[in-house]
Structures are given as structure tokens and as C-alpha cells.
Chains A and B, each alone.
Chain A
Amino acid sequence: MAESKLDLLKGTLDLMVLQTLIAMGPQHGYGIARRIEQVSGDEILLNQGTIYASLVRLQQRGWIAAEWGTSENNRAAKFYIITRTGRKQLEKDAAYWRRLAAVMGRVLAMESDGGDK
């Protein structure tokens, strides 16, 4: 089962967190982790704890902000919200990923032309 899960590439988790925050609005770490798991269709190997290193990194860069609040079932939790610079950064990174994915797609789609003579 573990074999079939995808390893996360460096930097991709940050991107996912930013995108999740845009999609969901203010959210706590558990919510973000759950959402990423759901969206990825459980295909990603993610220890939920890993998300916190990503969150502190994004926060130190000023791309997200955090505040303590209360969850819907009345638990204290730290809520994160994306900042304006965070949105800009997300746009840039997302564009980069789309380009990279497209290129990778094209490269991997190359047909063999029988070059191994």
C-alpha cells in the first residue's frame, strides 16, 4: 500500500497549502491536512505532522498569517489565512508548476523512433 503512494517533491507541500487556503479560506492545520489528503485522493504519502514545518516556513516568509480561534466543534485551534504576498507567490509558483508539468508531459509522451539500432 505504501508503495503505491506518491512521495512529495520538495516545495510542493508549500504550494498545496497555499492553494488549499485560497480554496477554503481561513483554516487550521488539521483541516488543511485533511483537505490535501481528500483532494489527492489519498494518493500522497503525507504524515499530517509534516504540514506544520511547511506552515511555519510560509508564515516566516510572510505568505500566510495565523491566529488562534475556535473550531466549529468548539476546540481551540490556530487558524491560517493567506496574505496578499502569499497570493502573488502562489500565482507565480502555480504558473511554474503548470509549465513544468506540461513540459514533463510532452517529454514523456515522446514515441520511440526505433533509435536503438
Chain B
Amino acid sequence: MSVLRQTFQRLLALFRRDRLTTESDREMASHIALATDENLRAGMSPAEARRQALIRFGGLQQAREQHHTARSIPALEILSQDLRYATRTLRRDFGFAAIAILILALGIGANIVVFSVVDTILLRPLPFPEANRLVRIAPKVSKCGASCATYSTDAVQEFQRQNKSFSDFTGYDAFTAPGNWKLTGSGVPLPVSEIDVMDNFFHTLGVRPLMGRLTFTAEESRPNGPPVVILSYPFWKRQLNADPNIIGKSISFSKTPTTVIGVLPDTFDFGSVYSPGTKMDIFTPYVYDRVREYGNMLSLTGRLKPGVTLAQAQAEANLLFPTLDGSVKKGYKGGYTAQLWDLKEFVSGSLRRSLIVLWGAVGLILLIVCVNLSNLLLARAAARSKEFAMRSALGAARSRIVRQLLTESLVLSAAGAILGLGLALAAVFYLSHQGSIALPLLSSIRVDKTALIWTLFIAVAAGLLLGIAPGLRISSGNLQDVLKDSAASTTGGRGTARLRSTLVVSQIALACVLLIAAGLLLRSFLRVLDVDLGFEPSHASAISLDYADSGDPVKRGVFDRDVLHRIEAIPGVQTAAITDSLPMSRNRSWGISAKGKHYEPGELPGTFVYVVSPGYLNAIGMRLIKGRDISWDDIDPKQAVVIVNETVARYLWPNEDPIDRIANVGGDEARVIGVIADVRETTAEAKAGWQMYISAAAPQYGPADSQLVIRSSLPAQTLQPTVLATLRQINPGQPAADLKPIQLLVDRASSPRRFFVYLVGIFAALGLILASLGIYGVISYSVTQRTQEIGIRMALGATQGTVQLGILGQTLRMTVLGIVVGAIASLTISSFIASLLFGTAPTDPATFAVIFMLLAAVALAAGYIPARRASRIDPMVALRNN
């Protein structure tokens, strides 16, 4: 109790320093006066009385200091003194301080941003209660896109009934498309992204409603049940002006009044967990009995019962999944397998390595920043060596001077951290509002408490790292020698020079590692961009088509031809066509096999199926290798036609001409009329799978929602109004959807790679700039130090050339050493980034060579400026200027 009180009083004393000092001085003066009085009374002379009083008191200054130490906290006082001194020195050297703080801010800011990303995607649990119990269920081997990652309604309901591992088991319809619904009401209909989720979907995830409820009733999940909808937070805010009384009100989708039963909280973002880079606006009930016979529809998530491990659940799934029905009514088993993933692992596991590399890169940047500033501080310390020697001679302990230097570097790093935090907040805000980067959870990145603690940690670490080199220098040097040194001394301290060169070498080495990593990633990225996609995204764009024909295939055919006819009449449009799905977006797969041949069960992979109009191949830019395109005459159900890709043709009809062969397509026969070059249907990096294209005009395949693809030399933005106006003439119900360039789809598929390449590239560029600054600083400093020496040598006959060469040689030695160290380090870690590369060896000689040359060129350029200055030295001036 009394100790607490004392500590508090001592802290208080820090702020009342002056008053307390005056008071104690007054008290001691009164002490002396009282003692003198007494001595006078004892008969001493006034002078002797006072002298005796002072002797008995025993050292006024000592007592003062004792008193001061007792009442206050000396360490804190020294700190505040050092802080004041540090800010004063830095203010005096404003240019240096500004540059140092800016560099630190860049380094620390980059670290905060990357940490926030890493923290959100990798470290933090998913934003759901008890997220560690959430499990994603997917087939063990996925041979085709979404169709093979999903399960049938019957299978899911059977598993729900039979399993003992899950407290909740749910799914969502994996075959939705952006803008598949339209919001009608006043004015032009607006496209809305809708998805069907099972009644217990939000309950399983543990999402709490902002308003209303988030579960659908059995009644609502039945065909012809009351239409209801749950709104996402952004949709509610944007489209409904955050109406607080929205629950129970009705909004119109495609002119169907739909009751709002719930609003999701701001923290829930479907896309960021399940489908990075997309936004879902509204959620409607999965109507089991409407889609029961549609095959595999559901993408699954479950919540383990408390105490059940993933392995136990997996063991149960291994037993149950193969027994589940594909369809009870049609009487076939689904042949399912199930791999259980921790949901978090499923969402972000594949990004772990990229993120760790990114984290490493940004850590290297901070290291380079520290080494660079350390070097600058070292130069400053050398320049201030007289000051330190003086203070030391006046009684400052060496530790006290080192402490002063550390305080200075900590002040710098603290200022850098504050500025960096500001930069990071801006960058994080930008990233979290970026819809086009297909990284999971990106919308929820924040600079949170953990990130702030991390900031504090790196700021302190950076501060210590910065101050260590100059501190060591000071504490190891002989201060008396420095004082004795004459001003004209040419030795800037051999030790300091060596230390500074070592720092520059390590800086070059670090930059080299960063540049090589960035170079390899960039080369991979260029390779990805270079991949033959099998279609031509440039000059093609697409818009969602709306129909008002309630699914009548005959009306649909007429409508489609009308649309294409009128769109192709727009000036600038070369060709137009219709497809149900675009490449690199939604996909589904059926089966295809050669008629009359026998295949093992499970031998043939699922085949991506696209229902397209005549001219689609042309519009999207796919290349027909053999045969012909679909035509408007291919509408006879008895003479169905199909176009396959090369991979399919090669497997089903090896060494045969596939044209006019009969294939079994999803249970019906179809004649192969053409073969196209393989198309990368999911990303440029994945190999092409099996693909087939069937006619949208053939009624047996049933009308689906459609994308209108337009090839035109005009940009999509220019075309958009005309196209939309034309579509709205034909069908007033056409929502105001965007005409989106196909390139966007390609870009989104490669956006994670682009994101990492850009970031690592920026860091590498920063590293290069810092390293060149470091070289420049050291060489330039050594030239200044050696002005006199160079002057003498030139007076003795050295030419400008030899002087320049000597200095460039010094630069080159450091650079080569740095490059060698960096290259060795790069080779040791290259296997780690190997899996992130595409079509590039981790030891790619071209990349290494280019980086070496780049580094050497930049280093020589940085060294050339001081070398030039040195060769211009006038010997007379240099020698006279003692």
C-alpha cells in the first residue's frame, strides 16, 4: 500500500520537479540558518558559525542529489532528459531526421499492411463463433470444376440424418452467377447477385442477425412456399437506405414481391469466405424439392459436435459418403467421397506460402531500412565523435552516451512508426475496399489490436537495431584519442569505415535476395500472362441477358436470334453470340463418352459443358481445329450435335477422326461436328480439362440463364449504353447490368498472383533504392574523408581517370561481395518459393543474370557520382584547406 503510494508520489515528482527542488533548497537553507544560529549562541564568530554548520550538514550538493534520487525516479528523469536532447538534435538536423523518418515510415508501414493481411488471412480465426469447429466437405479428388465439388440434395439430406459427428450440416447452391436476379420496382431493373442457401446455413456458421431472423422455415423451403429473402448488410445499406423497419416489408425481384425476413451483420461477407472476389447481395431458401433431381448442387459446410475431432468425423465420412444416393427417385448411388478440411485451412491454406514469402520480403525491407539508417547514424556519430568525447571528458559514463544514441534512434523509429501507421491505415482501407482481388477475407482486413502490438514491436526492434552499430562504435573507441585528433586527421577511423562497408555489403545482399525473388515471381507472372488461353479476351465483352419467356424453348430461340441480329447491327460490333457460362467464371460438368466403347467407372473425368449459340466460338475467340461451328439449323433433338476440345477428342477417339462420331452426352446421343483448341477454363495456370459445347438452339438441353458475348473494336464502356438500350427495346425487363470486358475475368483469375507480384516488386524496388542510397552515402563519405589524400595523389601525378577508377573499384568490390552473398542466400531459399513459380525454375539463370546486372549498374551509378566529385578535386585547394 505504502509502496504504491510512494511510486505514485515519485511519478508525480517528475512533473513537479522545479517546485520540489526550490522547496528542498529552501528547507536546506533554513537548516543551515538554524544551525548557524545555534553555533552563534554557543559563542562562535559569525563566519565560523556558518562554516561549522556547513561541515555538520556534510555537502550541500550531495544532500540535494540524495534528496532528488529519493523522491523521484532517476531512470525516467534521464529518459525524459535524453528525449528532450534527442528531439533537439534531430530538429537541428532536420533534413536527416525527415529522410530517416520517411524511410522508416515506408518500411514500417509496409510491414503493418502485410501483417494485417497475413493476420486476417492466415493467423486470425474465421469471423465466426467457435470457427475451429467449422469444416468444409469436398470430394477427395476433384476431376472437374464445381460439379465434382458438390453433392446431390438426396445425399446431403441422408448424411444429415445419419451422421453422428456434426451438430449442424449445411450447404449452398454452388451454381449461382453474379447478377442472376433483378431488383424491380421503380425505374430500370437492377442486377442482383442471389444465392440459395439451406435453411440452417447461417445457423451452422453461427452468424447472428442484425435484424429479423436468418433461418428459413420448412414452409419457405418448399416449392411455391412464401417468397422470402435475407439481405446482406451492404445491399440493405445501399439499395434500401438502411431502412430500420425493413423486416416484414416486401421488395420486388423480377416483379415477385418478396418478404424480407432478415438482415445480415456487417461482419458477414459470403464472398470473402467461399468465393473470393465476388459479392453476394441476397440469400434465398434452397428449395429442396424443386432441385432434387438436378444432380450435384450443394457445396457443403458442417459444424463438428463439441469434442469430435476432424479425424473422427473423417472416419465416419469415409464410411457414410460412398453409401449416399445420387438420386433416390432415379435409383443411383452418387459414388461420393469426402475430404474434410478445417474451413479456415480450406479458405486460406493454399495462400500460406505466398503470404509467408510476402511477410519475409517485407521483413527484409525493414532490415534494409535499418541497415541503411544505421549507416547514416554511424556517419552522424562519426561526425559527432568530438561531442561525445567532450561529454565523456566531462564525466558522462560510456553507457550514458550509448543510451543517448539509442534514445535518438528510438525517437526516430517511433516517429517513423506513427507516420507508417498512417500510411498503413490508408493502404489497408484501400485494400479492404478492393473488390477485384480474388483473395479470401480481404474485405475484413483491419489494422487491429494485434497489428498495433506488432507495430510497437517492430518499432522498438528497428530502433534498437538502428542504434546498435553507432552505439558499439562509440563504446569501443578510445574517446581520448578522438579529442587529441587534429581536425585535419584523415583517418575517419578505420574501424568505422570497415563497419560501414560491411553494412553496405549486407544491404546489397539483402536487396539482391529480394530482387531475385521478385524477379522470379515477375517472370512467372509474365509466363502466366503469356499462356495461350484458347480464347481471345481482348475486344470481347459480355452482359447478362434477361428473359421474359418463362423458359419456353421455342420462344427462347426466336428471342435469341432477334437479340443477336439487332446487336450485330450496332456499328462497331463485329459479332455477337450467347452462352450459358463464360470461361473462368461459373462452371458445371456432365459426362461425355464415345458411343460403343467401354470405360471403367470413374475413368472419365467430368466434362465442362457450355450451352452456346452459333457464332459463340468466333465471338469469344476460340479456335476451331476441325469440323464446323454449330448452326441455327442444329435444332433437331434427334440429331443433336456437340463440339469437343482436343483433350476430349484425343482421349475418346485416339488416332481417329472424331468428326461425325457419335458421343454419349449426359445420357443423350450427339454427333461430334467440331474440335476446338483447349481452353483454360478456370485459370491460366491450371491445365485444360475436358470441355464440350452444345447448341442453345436445341430444345432438349433446356434454356438456362445466358450471357451475351460481343466482339467489337470499341471499348465495352462505349458500347454499354447502346447495347443496353437495344436489349431494353426487345425486353423492357432487361436489368441495367454492366457490359464487362472478358479480360476482367482473366484478370480476376490471376489477381492473387498479380497482388503478390506487385507487392514483392514494390518491396524489391524499395530495397534497390535503399541499397543504392547506402552505396552512395558510404562512397561519398569516404571521398569527403579522403579529400586531402586524393589531393596529394593528384598533385603527385594521378590522373582523373585513375582516381575515378579507384573509387569505382571500391564500389564494385562491395557490390560483388554483396551480390555473391545475396546469390548464395537466394539459392538456399529458392526451393521455398519454387511452388509459387509458374514455368520458371527457382534457379532461373536469366533472372539471376538480369538481377546481377541491374544491381551492378545501380551500384556503379551510385558510386559514380562521388567518384566524379573526387576526380574534380583541385589538389591545391585540397592541400591548402587544412
Chain A contacts to B: CB under 8 angstroms:
28-31, 33-34, 47-50, 52-54, 56-57, 60-63, 71, 73, 75-78, 85, 89
Contact = CB atoms under 8 A, between A and B. Distances in A.
Contacts of A61: 2-3, 5-6
16 contacts: A28-B30, A28-B34, A29-B27, A29-B31, A47-B57, A48-B31, A48-B58, A52-B67, A56-B24, A57-B71, A60-B10, A61-B2, A61-B3, A61-B6, A75-B34, A89-B2
A33 B28 CA distance: 12
Contacts, number: 83
B63 A78 contact: no
Contact of B2 (A28, A33, A34, A62): A62
B22 to A, nearest CB: 13
Given A29-B27, A56-B71, A61-B2, A49 B35 contact: no
B245 interface: no
Contacts of B71: 56-57, 60
B60 interface: yes
Contacts of B6: 57, 60-61
A107 B365 CA distance: 67
Residue from the set A34, A60, A63 with the largest chain B CB neighbour count within 10 Å? A60
Nearest first, the 6 A-B pairs at minimum CB distance are: A47-B58, A49-B63, A60-B9, A53-B70, A53-B66, A61-B2
Interface string B444-487: 00000000000000000000000000000000000000000000
A105 to B, nearest CB: 30
B239 interface: no
Contact of B66 (A29, A52, A71, A89): A52
A53 B69 contact: yes
A48 B67 contact: no
B33 interface: yes
A52 B27 contact: yes
B37 interface: yes
B70 A48 contact: no
Given A29-B27, A60-B6, A62-B5, A49 B34 contact: no
A78 B27 contact: yes
B881 interface: no
Nearest to B20: A56
Given A29-B27, A60-B10, A62-B5, 12 more contacts: A31-B34, A47-B57, A48-B31, A48-B58, A49-B31, A52-B28, A52-B63, A53-B70, A57-B71, A61-B2, A61-B5, A75-B30
A50 B10 contact: no
A85 B62 CA distance: 30
Given A30-B31, A60-B5, A52 B37 contact: no
Contacts of A49: 28, 31, 57-60, 62-63, 66
Contacts of A34: 38
Contacts of A33: 31
B26 to A, nearest CB: 8
Given A61-B6, A73-B37, A50 B63 contact: yes
Interface in B34-76: 34-35, 37-38, 56-60, 62-63, 66-67, 69-71
A91 to B, nearest CB: 14
Interface string B529-548: 00000000000000000000
Contacts of A85: 2
A50 B70 CA distance: 11
B34 A50 contact: no
Contacts of A56: 24, 67, 70-71
Nearest to B71: A56
Interface string B69-103: 11100000000000000000000000000000000
Contact of A47 (B5, B24, B59): B59
A54 B30 CA distance: 17
